Amino acid sequence: MSPRRNPPPRSGRRPGPRPSRPPGRAPERPTPASPGPPVPPRVRIPHTPAQTLPPRPDRWLWTCRAGFEPHLFEELAWAGTAPRLLGEALIESDGAPGLSPAFARQGMRVLASFPSPSPGLSADALARSVAARPRGAPLVLQAYTPDTPSGNALAPQADALVEAARALLPPERLLEDPNRAREAGARLVALCLAPGVAVLGEVLAREALSLAPGGRRRMRREGDAPSRAAMKLEEALDGLPFEPGRGEVCVDLGAAPGGWTQRLVARGARVIAVDPAKLMPELAAHPRVRHVQESAFAFAPEDPADWLFCDMAWRPLEVAQLLAKWGRRGWASHLVANIKLPMKDKNPLLLRVRHLLSEDGGWSGLTVRQLYHDRDEVTVTAHRR
């Protein structure tokens, strides 16, 4: 007997495919969200200048992933900081207390800018400018370029300038290990070399978006890593004051094939990996991994976990509602999650995501960042109040 089929609609058109849903048991209905925040008026984005413009002293220079200038520009405009598009991956704005744009990789206060090449762009001149910074706090001297083909071509020149300037500075003023910059109360002093323009800027390490030059936290993919996801997690954990420790319980929603689970196990954590799909065989057999083959939307932990991790290719608002449910019910103490943003207008949706997590979910200390290894996505971190 042939299988039953629904009759076609009277219009003669066959019904389209049913909307997909996460595999496994049907998810419970999301709790109705509170009204979202008002969306500011849309911002007119200027055209990218043909030649990089110099930033003004005492303003802030921001760098971002190439192609995401409109999103960063709009964020800064909504914050009332009068942004100006300088060139590919570079925007300047007024400063604002606690400003942490999601689409910025790094921000620094402009000390000086000058044409490149120019007589002022030399190791001696750079060393004199750095030496003139107030004494007391150690300095971390860095170099970076915009993450574009024309910018990357200047990286060897920028690195050589900074290395030569570092050799001219008193060693006691410099902090060699940037990973200790926050605890040492250091300042990051950076040379940004862009096509036609060189910029010297600084930011307190404890206020910096990233300790990596220009926010480009490059990592080498390990041979046994099942996916690029592992590098995203490592970068996210680098930005936290602490990380999962030995014996702590982590729930990894959407775990397959196991990129995040693998890195958590390597730290000594116990992982509940939730995904209908299979894990890497060595992870599935690991004594500190319990694989729950069901939908992340249907899963409920037996006991509260220390950490909640989530990296699912799914609708961003539904993922945010799921994360809010975990916060509201006290199912985890700390959150690290990746939110996909395939749509064109990203900032209005990010407003709703922030609102869901903080207001509906009760998560605090919320950060939303497009990290170096993120693409059309952002990484969020938070903890329970």
- All structural domains of the chain with their residue ranges: 60-215, 229-384
Question: Cα(68)–Cα(369) distance, rounded to whole angstroms?
Answer: 13
Question: Cα(236)–Cα(371) distance, rounded to whole angstroms?
Answer: 8
pLDDT digits (tens, 9 = 90+) for 279-337: 999 999 999 999 999 999 999 999 999 999 999 999 999 999 999 999 999 999 999 99
The pTM of this model reads: 0.88
Which CATH code of 3.60.150.10, 3.40.630.30, 3.90.1150.10, 3.40.50.150 fits the domain covering 229-384? 3.40.50.150
DSSP string, 274-299: E-SSPPPHHHHT-TTEEEE-S-TTT-
Number of C-beta neighbours around residue 22 at 10 A: 20
DSSP string, 210-231: -SSGGG----PPPTT--STHHH
- Chain center to CA of 344: 18
Number of C-beta neighbours around residue 276 at 10 A: 15
Strand order in the sheet with 305-311: 289-292, 270-274, 249-253, 305-311, 332-340, 377-384, 363-369
Which CATH code of 2.60.40, 3.30.160, 3.40.50, 3.30.2130 fits the domain covering 60-215? 3.30.2130
Instruction: Check residue 28 and give its pLDDT.
Output: 52
Beta bridge partners of 334: 307, 383
pLDDT beyond 80 at 26: no
Instruction: Check residue 76 and give its pLDDT.
Output: 98
Lowest mean pLDDT among 129-133, 162-166, 371-375: 129-133
Question: Cα(339)–Cα(368) distance, rounded to whole angstroms?
Answer: 9
Instruction: Check residue 374 and give its pLDDT.
Output: 95
pLDDT digits (tens, 9 = 90+) for 372-383: 999 999 999 999
Burial class from Cβ neighbours inside 10 Å (0-12, 13-18, 19+) for residue 297 reads buried
pLDDT digits (tens, 9 = 90+) for 31-48: 555 678 899 999 999 999
Instruction: Check residue 178 and give its pLDDT.
Output: 87
pLDDT beyond 90 at 7: no
Question: Cα(6)–Cα(294) distance, rounded to whole angstroms?
Answer: 29
Instruction: Check residue 229 and give its pLDDT.
Output: 79
* Count of helix runs (H) and strand runs (E) in the chain: 9, 14
Instruction: Check residue 264 and give its pLDDT.
Output: 96
Mean of the per-residue pLDDT values for the chain?
89
pLDDT beyond 80 at 24: no
- Return phi, psi of residue 277, to 5°: -80, 170
Instruction: Check residue 19 and give its pLDDT.
Output: 36
pLDDT beyond 70 at 260: yes
pLDDT-derived band at 98, boundaries 50, 70, 90: confident
Which position has the token pair 């110099």? 54
Instruction: Check residue 4 and give its pLDDT.
Output: 37
Both structure tokens of 302: 């037996």
pLDDT-derived band at 13, boundaries 50, 70, 90: very low
For residues 239 and 280, the model is more confident at: 280
Q: What is the mean pLDDT of residues 52-76?
A: 98
Positions marked active-site? 340
Instruction: Check residue 228 and give its pLDDT.
Output: 72
- Chain center to CA of 237: 11
Instruction: Check residue 135 and give its pLDDT.
Output: 86
